[in-house]
């Protein structure tokens, strides 16, 4: 059983009721679950053409969506962080002292074989235990 579980969630793929349910089963009495969404701002030349207010507005909308969805999940704390998904999940887990990450994974596509999926990066580099659940939808 774990005391401090991090559950990364991509808002465009659903909120992750399945991963939250698994986290609840793995959670020790008195432990905590944090639902993390990593906001990836436009990078490189694309970022140069987007107004900073537009980027901030999109961040605030994502934050609101996460808070709204998690509000129906008692005992789950929402957290949104700007960064690159794989690296930010790993860094956040280390910073908060997570002892388990429960992450969903989709069926790999060709790009995943070439670059690797976020879940695969988390498994390889996480500072704690990682439970991966396959998205069966």
pLDDT digits (tens, 9 = 90+) for 18-61: 899 999 999 999 999 999 999 987 776 666 667 788 888 989 99
Count of structural domains, the chain: 1
pTM attached to this predicted model:
0.88
* pLDDT band per the 50, 70, 90 thresholds, residue 135: low
Return d(Cα 5, Cα 26) in angstroms, integer.
8
Give tens-digit pLDDT for 78-111: 999 999 999 999 999 999 999 999 998 876 665 4
> What SS3 state is found at 127?
coil
Return d(Cα 4, Cα 27) in angstroms, integer.
8
Q: How, if at all, do strands 2-8 and 100-105 pair? A: parallel
Residues of the domain holding 26? 2-134
CATH number at 12 reads 3.40.50.620
What is the number of other CB atoms lying within 10 angstroms of the CB of residue 46?
Answer: 9
Is the model more confident about 58 or about 114? 58
Return d(Cα 28, Cα 71) in angstroms, integer.
21
| Position 77 pLDDT exceeds 90 | yes
């Amino acid at each position: 059983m774990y005391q401090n579980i991090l559950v990364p969630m991509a808002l465009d793929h659903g909120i992750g009721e399945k991963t939250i349910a698994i986290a609840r089963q793995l959670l020790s009495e008195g432990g905590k679950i944090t639902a993390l969404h990593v906001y990836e701002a436009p990078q490189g030349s694309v970022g140069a053409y987007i107004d900073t207010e537009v980027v901030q507005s999109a961040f605030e909308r994502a934050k609101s969506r996460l808070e709204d969805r998690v509000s129906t999940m008692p005992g789950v704390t929402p957290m949104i962080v700007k960064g690159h998904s794989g690296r930010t999940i790993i860094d956040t887990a280390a910073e908060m002292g997570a002892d388990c990450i429960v992450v969903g994974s989709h069926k790999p596509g060709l790009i995943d074989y070439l670059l690797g999926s976020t879940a695969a990066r988390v498994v390889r580099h996480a500072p704690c235990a990682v439970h991966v659940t396959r998205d069966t939808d």
